Amino acid sequence: MVAIAMGGFLLFIVPGIIFAIWFILAHFVLVAENQKGMNALLKSREYVKENCGGVFWRLFFMGLISFFVISFFLLGFGIDVIPHGEYVKQLILWLFLVPLTVIYGFLVYSHLKATKGEIVFTPTNGQKAKFIVVGVVGFLLIPALLFSAISANLGPSKDSARDARRVADLAQLKIALELYAN
C-alpha cells in the first residue's frame, strides 16, 4: 500500500491522496477477510470507491484529533523533570493514540462493509498490474529526481571550474609566449 501511495504522490499529489484513501482499509481486509496482497488493496478500494469524500473527511477528522493529542502531550505535563520522563510521555501518548486510530479505522471499515454488504471481488491481473506499475514508476522516479537535482546543482560548478581552468591555461600560454619573444 505504501509503495503505491508513494508512487501516486511522486507522480502527482492528488493521485497519491486518492490512493491513500482507497487503500487505507487494506490491513483490515487482510485480517478480517483473509485477503492477501493486491487482493486486499483492491477490495479496500471497492469498499471506499463510492464513499471517497466521506472516508477522506473521517480520516481528516482523525488526523486533527491526533494532531491535538500529540500537541497536548508535547506541551504537556511537566513530566520531563523525572528521569526518563520523555520516554514515559511517549509511552503514554502511543498507548493512547495508536489504539484510538486503529479502532477508529476499524469502525470506518465496519461501517463501509455493513453499508455495501459482502463484496465478492476477484481482481484481474490487469487491475493489479496498473497499481504495481504506478508503485514501481514512483519508486524509480525518486532516484531519477535526486540524480537530476544533484547534477543540476553540480553542472554550473563544473562549468565555472572548466572556465577557470581555461583562463589559467591562457595566462600560462601568454607568459610562455612573452618569455619566448624576449
Choose among 7, 23, 15, 42: nearest CA to 119.
Answer: 42
Residue 177 φ then ψ, to 5°: -65, -40
Rounded CA-CA distance 107/118 in Å is: 16
How many domains is the chain built from?
1
Average pLDDT score, the chain: 77
Half-sphere exposure of 45 (CA within 13 A, CB side): 19
pLDDT band at 18 (very low <50, low <70, confident <90, very high): confident
pTM of structure? 0.60
CA 117 centroid distance within chain: 31
Query: 153: domain range?
Result: 2-181
Cα-atom radius of gyration of the chain, to the nearest Å?
28
The pLDDT > 70 percentage for the chain reads 78
Contact 16, 9 (CB under 8 A): yes
CA distances from 175 to 26, 47, 67, 162 (A): 74, 80, 69, 20
Residue 125 φ then ψ, to 5°: -65, -30
Rounded CA-CA distance 162/64 in Å is: 53
pLDDT band at 9 (very low <50, low <70, confident <90, very high): low
Comparing 105 with 18, the larger pLDDT belongs to 105
pLDDT in the model for residue 76: 61
Rounded CA-CA distance 125/6 in Å is: 21
75-101, pLDDT tens digit by residue? 665 555 666 667 777 777 788 888 888
98-115, pLDDT tens digit by residue? 888 889 889 988 888 888
* AA identity, residue 69: V
